[in-house]
Structure 1
């Protein structure tokens, strides 16, 4: 009698990785022109890593799309360009600066450009005929993102209607869409911030160095440490001080704050995240504080 050895159980990270790779392959088989939305942050870098694993030894079969506000941290842009070159990826860039220069957009009074990303994003999706757009949104980040399905339909104007969510049973995803519509896809929707960092450690994934503690000139505004830059500040009584900080999330410099930290290694970052009682967006993103439903309002307009 032949004895069949039981298959080893997947640990939590293996299961999350398997789900994400399955989603990438499903989209590649079902859609014509997918693209990965890429900011240079940890979540979108994780997406690229998973896409490489999903299709190896073949190259990743779709490009990256970066909506560049012009207010990005230089370290992140340098990391973006280095990663694209190292992996031989294609990069599409939609520049908010171009829209400001020709009058299609107007600079906001508060200086933040994060809400201005929506129109360049939608135009890039339309012009390049992308029918599926991968994003690094996770359900643990923010309440509006917790409402999203893994495959989330957007109408011909790029808008999301939370009242018209499709059911998703087990690992069956509905990518059906009409001409002009597209689908936003969130392969790491079920991951937590701690899962992301543990996986980054396990896989030895390179990140921009601003995710680790370093000395930076910052000023305090609305309970966050913001860096001086082209986005303005410090203003009035705000004063630049030198702090040891790191970033938990990377976005537009005008609304992404740093946290005081001494975590210079992955072990130290993981310990810090484990002890934190705030999500990274709740702790360091001013654009989410504009109203109780700030993220949901932007998503309805076409934001990621």
Structure 2
């Protein structure tokens, strides 16, 4: 066996182990909790979560609903993809519209126009309203420092907040889902995956994704070192010039703070090669909301955002 063949076998074994771990976590939650839900935005990580959930319970349907906190500033291609997936698999989708919280005064629009930080309250209110006791998220430890120290089962108190001293050890893949009434557990089956793992698995399983993950022509303008695009969240300022470039998105979220990267990667294989050459995680490269302060994501985790 050549060195390249050995490396390919090792990569396949790694993906199989990661898949097995994630499927085990889904089944563990199904056995331990009464009302789980999967956070689903239509992005690559939540789409991968759903794919793994389908495999975990096939041929039975996925026994959990999906929950999307819709900022109203999402990319149209992603929302269209979300709705197609829900219809294709006959899933139940719960949508919490941030606009509803703004309209009734529970939230106030931010001066900078970004709504990503406004997702926390709608998320917590919806978890409480539906009495969800386990919430699957697509967070990975390689994305950002605040996520790197998360457990796979992350206990949240009755206010939805993360308390470091109450997190449990997870030795030998034993997960403790015990919680008091009103508390819930965030569950991260992709914790041990990297961005490269995600894309290699997408290639292996031929997982469909929104088109904006691949290279396309788009009118963009430069702000804070990122290529942003015009949308319902606003557009360029007077001193910002619009250009038409070939770009793609490494991550998707609120369009006001999610940047594109210049890229000609039009296939999964092209994206994999690009990701392997990158020195920045997708969030570090293209998410302005993570740059609000040194501890932006840590603060939002404590508040209950992820």
- Structure 1 length normalisation: TM-score? 0.96
- The unaligned stretches of length 5 or more in structure 1 are 1-7
Question: 1:298 maps to which residue?
Answer: 300
Per the TM alignment, residue 164 of structure 1 is displaced from its structure 2 partner at its CA by 3.0
Task: Quote the offset at 1:92 in angstroms.
Answer: 0.3
**Alignment partners' CA distance in 1, 2:174 and 2:204:** 28
Q: Distance in 2 between matches of 1:232 and 1:30?
A: 44
Aligned to 2:62: 60
Displaced runs of 4 or more, over 6 A: none
Q: Deviations over 1:130-165 (max 9, x none)?
A: 000000000000000001000000000000012432
What SS is found at the alignment partner of 1:170? helix
> Is the CA contact 1:147–1:162 (under 8 Å) kept in the aligned structure 2?
no
Give the Cα separation in 2 of the matches to 1:61 and 1:202.
25
Within the alignment, does 1:279 sit opposite 2:274 as a pair?
A: no
SS of match in other structure, 1:241: strand
Distance in 2 between the 1:236 and 1:46 partners?
Answer: 40
CA shift at 1:101, angstroms?
Answer: 1.0
Instruction: Provide the rounded CA distance (Å) in 2 between the counterparts of 1:44 and 1:189.
Output: 13
Aligned pairs (5 A) from 1:73-92: 73-92=75-94
Give the 5 Å matches for 1:251-262.
251-262=253-264
Q: Secondary structure at the residue paired with 2:173?
A: coil
- Counterpart residue number, 1:239: 241
Range with bigger deviation, 179-188 or 234-243? 234-243
Q: Secondary structure at the match of 2:227?
A: strand
Alignment partner of 1:45 is 2:28:
no
Deviations for 1:61-90, whole angstroms, at most 9, x for unmatched residues?
010000000000000000000000001111
Contact 1:41 1:207 in 2 (8 A): yes
Q: Counterpart of 2:122?
A: 120
Task: Write 1 or 2 for the structure with the bigger share of helix.
Answer: 2
Q: What residue in structure 2 maps to residue 289 of structure 1?
A: 291
Question: Which of 8, 33, 48 in structure 2 is aligned with 1:31?
Answer: 33
What is the rounded CA distance, in whole Å, between the counterparts of 1:205 and 1:184 in structure 2?
24
State the partner residue of 1:3.
Answer: none
Secondary structure at 1:288's aligned position in 2? helix
* Gap runs ≥5 in structure 2: 1-8
Residue by residue over 1:280-302, the C-alpha shift from the partner in whole angstroms, topping out at 9 and shown as x without a partner, is 00000000001111001001011
Displacement of 1:240 after TM fit?
Answer: 1.0
